[in-house]
Structure 1
């Protein structure tokens, strides 16, 4: 997975601006044509740089695509994770799903490209890791918070659980992209599915909280927004 090094953080402002421009153009091409159609020579021409510049910045084609995806996932969800750090597990879950769903609906073409690639039988492990691991780690963190409350079932392994929940929710988004679900149904369907999973691995008051979300996801959205709107809109 592409990571910012200390050397990258010390790059001049114009170099960082050029890097952001390359990432933005690559993202546009991904949305328009998919991952497979990214060609370094063509991308360099569109960006107005030499091919060697792309390799110097990113190392390889797959690392460039991974940098685009990581920039999106961390840029969108990193601030949200920080703002909701002190919320109870059920509220953390609502904030993540609602915010993610808002972005999915706003970027349907890009979402379709990313998730179609994610569910392919053979997928580059670097790129899959970027799409999967950040979100899975976030859900695993919620499961760990439940464990710290003493309300996680003993048989649950948070990392595996987080991975399973992400895959399930991504599959529901694919159903919507295929046209089998109205856009208005996506928020409640994702909330209900995820809350059901969390209720199944929880006990005590945490289980009750997730059961309430599963039973009435629209009310859960309203209640969370009323209590703390910035947690959903960073």
Structure 2
């Protein structure tokens, strides 16, 4: 979904951009309230626009849902850029801090997304989008690390990225189910992510991640 979609191209003026934003926010509300499913007619009614307008703007429901979900992930989350100026562990933590900030900005939506991610639905548009957009950023960062000789020789960036994304969603799903307290979510996300990453890095960098993991474990211990 790197190329601009139909929904993104239609709005040139500020007023039109606001309308698009309002429609997508309503779509996110419906995703939250209705087990991830709604009709275009329902969305048109709640958005106060004609049904034909939705189809003219977004093309189809899958495209519209894609824009609603991807916009949150792409526009509000810090990318992991694999910069030379910041350590790998710090970059990963900055990314996760923006993830958790977004989760607590709209917790009901985040809970529903975590639920939909693991729903056994082969037609699950939302689950695929959540996975693929998250995977895109992590995979690109890991490939940059590999190019700079920072990954262990037997580490496959694509496989590591997929595993990291699933692990992170699993932690969020546990939080969504009430098994991880709010004040532990960020720390646990950092801990499991750095733990998985450490197993894929060259020894010196892995040691840095493991040291940070010890600090995070200590912080969890203080929280009880």
Normalising by structure 1, we get a TM-score of 0.82
User: CA–CA distance in 1 between the matches of 2:210 and 2:100?
Assistant: 20
Match in the other structure for 1:46: 46
Match in the other structure for 1:160: 159
User: CA–CA distance in 1 between the matches of 2:20 and 2:214?
Assistant: 46
Please identify which structure carries the higher helix content.
Answer: 1
Q: How many pairs are equivalent?
A: 217
Match in the other structure for 1:226: none
User: CA–CA distance in 2 between the matches of 1:8 and 1:58?
Assistant: 9
Cα distance change on mapping 1:5 and 1:171 into 2, 3 Å: closer
1:216 aligns with 2:215: yes
Match in the other structure for 1:227: none
User: CA–CA distance in 1 between the matches of 2:10 and 2:33?
Assistant: 30
User: CA–CA distance in 2 between the matches of 1:107 and 1:218?
Assistant: 27
In 2, are the aligned partners of 1:137 and 1:159 still within 8 Å (CA)? Answer: no
Cα distance change on mapping 1:67 and 1:2 into 2, 3 Å: farther
Structure with bigger RCO (C-alpha 8 Å, 6+ apart): 1
Match in the other structure for 2:180: 181
1:16 aligns with 2:17: yes
Matches within 5 A, 1:1-234: 1=1, 3-5=3-5, 8=9, 11-36=12-37, 38-77=38-77, 80-81=78-79, 85-86=83-84, 87-124=86-123, 126-217=125-216
SS in 1 for 2:132: helix
**Deviation at residue 147 of structure 1 after TM alignment:** 1.8
SS in 2 for 1:201: coil
User: CA–CA distance in 2 between the matches of 1:111 and 1:83?
Assistant: 24
**Deviation at residue 9 of structure 1 after TM alignment:** 6.4
**Deviation at residue 144 of structure 1 after TM alignment:** 2.3
User: CA–CA distance in 1 between the matches of 2:156 and 2:179?
Assistant: 33
Cα distance change on mapping 1:13 and 1:103 into 2, 3 Å: closer
User: CA–CA distance in 2 between the matches of 1:33 and 1:153?
Assistant: 44
Structure 1 residue ranges without an equivalent (≥5): 221-234
CA RMSD of aligned residues (A): 2.5
**Deviation at residue 72 of structure 1 after TM alignment:** 0.5
Farther off after superposition, 120-129 or 19-28 = 120-129
User: CA–CA distance in 2 between the matches of 1:19 and 1:112?
Assistant: 24
